Amino acid sequence: MKVDGKHFRSIWRERDGWSVGAIDQRRLPHEFVVARLTSCEDAATAIRDMLVRGAPLIGATAAYGMALAMREDSSDAGLKRAYEALIVARPTAINLKWALDEMRETLAPIDPLERAEAAYARADEIVEQDVEINRGIAGNGLAVIEAIAAKKKPGEVVNVLTHCNAGWLATVDWGTATAPIYLAHERGIKIHVWVDETRPRNQGASLTAWELGHHGVPHTVIPDNTGGHLMQHGMVDLAIVGTDRVAANGDVCNKIGTYLKALAAHDNGVPFYVALPSPTIDFAVNDGIGDIPIEQRSGTEVTDMTGRTADGRLETVRIVPEGSPVANYAFDVTPARLVTGLITERGVLKPDRASLAAAFPERITTAAEQVG
């Protein structure tokens, strides 16, 4: 997507052909800084410290992390070490495991001397595949938006609510939840996005607002608690969110607060869509609510806030009384019954086992197959 007219991706191979460039998302929206990753350890740290984040981008970064590792040590032991270092970087997004499994499957059978080249080639494919998938999501989601626009008076705006950042910054390009929005905007549909701020890390306020703004898509940032009110007053036509993992039964794990938005949407008859690439489906998990481990992050994300002062300095301040305990569950699970449809690269699916299995039969695995 565009940043002030110039096309960017969130991650790329640098001109030297081997190191990896990525936008440092911790610095947005205040500073646009590019980081250079030169080792497997750099890639693992980038994922762990949320320099990169968002399920598909975590997978793409891990794939390049494996390629960087193969330059350092392409032996069987090196391959195992790299997989183990990257798999623990973040727990929720299943795209991380998917990408690492793809890389290991490609690399394990071949001569260690050929692994580095093969690793870069496979990582590049994973990156290009993400962009293609998101284009597919864009087209299928566009049909949903067009159907809503068709029921409105000519020239009336379609209002979409989104949560967290499932935009191009969370993927390689286009985004998942934002892909249909960008395409609708490109096609001249009048669209406006309500952007949840998404406490505690504010991915909506800092990232979604930044990317929509720099691409020229009309949007408004709202405090997390506002969505229900807007829905009650007919100010939201549909919600589209991303996801970090979809269980085989259609339950959706996404950024904390997604469940509350789905409840409000259900109560107000607002369609609630989840956009996802197929690597986000986890057929090994049958019950999203019971079986997806939820990442708990540092309490400082709740107690502290960072922003720019009027005189231009970046400052972190504490907003919670000293000594008050805090909890920081980073994700929640929205039950499939609250989801109107899953927007995938192969169509808009019902959120249930049969529909997911029929659309993506090649992705079906059991929990037993996933071990190791």
Active site residues: 244
Which residue lies nearer to ligand MRU by CB, 95 or 106?
A: 95
- Cβ atoms 35, 24 nearer than 8 A: yes
Q: Using alpha carbons, select from 51, 73, 38, 96 the residue that is nearest to residue 279.
A: 96
Element spanning 134, H or E: helix 112-150
Provide the minimum distance between the beta carbon of 26 and ligand MRU in the complex, in angstroms, as a whole number: 11
Is 53 assigned a ligand-binding role in the annotation? yes
Which residue lies nearer to ligand MRU by CB, 71 or 201?
A: 201
Residue type, 192: H
Provide the minimum distance between the beta carbon of 244 and ligand MRU in the complex, in angstroms, as a whole number: 4
Is 151 assigned a ligand-binding role in the annotation? no
Which residue lies nearer to ligand MRU by CB, 148 or 330?
A: 330
Is 255 assigned a ligand-binding role in the annotation? yes
- Cβ atoms 62, 82 nearer than 8 A: no
Binding residues for ligand MRU, rule: CB under 6 A, are: 53-56, 93, 164, 166, 170-171, 176, 203, 242-244, 254-255, 330
Which 3 state secondary structure label does DSSP give 227?
helix
Provide the minimum distance between the beta carbon of 75 and ligand MRU in the complex, in angstroms, as a whole number: 32
Provide the minimum distance between the beta carbon of 170 and ligand MRU in the complex, in angstroms, as a whole number: 4
Using alpha carbons, list the distances in angstroms from residue 136 to 75, 216, 344: 37, 22, 7
- Cβ atoms 218, 192 nearer than 8 A: yes
Provide the minimum distance between the beta carbon of 191 and ligand MRU in the complex, in angstroms, as a whole number: 19
CA 218 to chain centroid, in Å, comes to: 21
Which residue lies nearer to ligand MRU by CB, 52 or 158?
A: 52
Strands of the chain (E only): list them.
2-3, 6-7, 11-13, 20-23, 34-37, 158-162, 191-196, 219-222, 238-241, 245-247, 252-255, 272-275, 281-282, 304-308, 314-318, 331-334, 341-344, 347-349
Cis preceding-peptide flag for 91 (omega within 30 of 0): no
Which residue lies nearer to ligand MRU by CB, 28 or 248?
A: 28
Which residue lies nearer to ligand MRU by CB, 115 or 173?
A: 173
- Cβ atoms 253, 287 nearer than 8 A: no
Is 254 assigned a ligand-binding role in the annotation? yes
Is 55 assigned a ligand-binding role in the annotation? yes
Residue nearest to ligand MRU (CB): 242
Is 203 assigned a ligand-binding role in the annotation? yes
Q: Using alpha carbons, select from 237, 236, 241 the residue that is nearest to residue 226.
A: 236
Provide the minimum distance between the beta carbon of 216 and ligand MRU in the complex, in angstroms, as a whole number: 21
Which 3 state secondary structure label does DSSP give 200?
coil
Return d(Cα 97, Cα 91) in angstroms, integer.
9
Query: Which residues define the annotated binding site?
Result: 53-55, 90, 203, 254-255
Binding site per annotation, positions for substrate: 53-55, 90, 203, 254-255
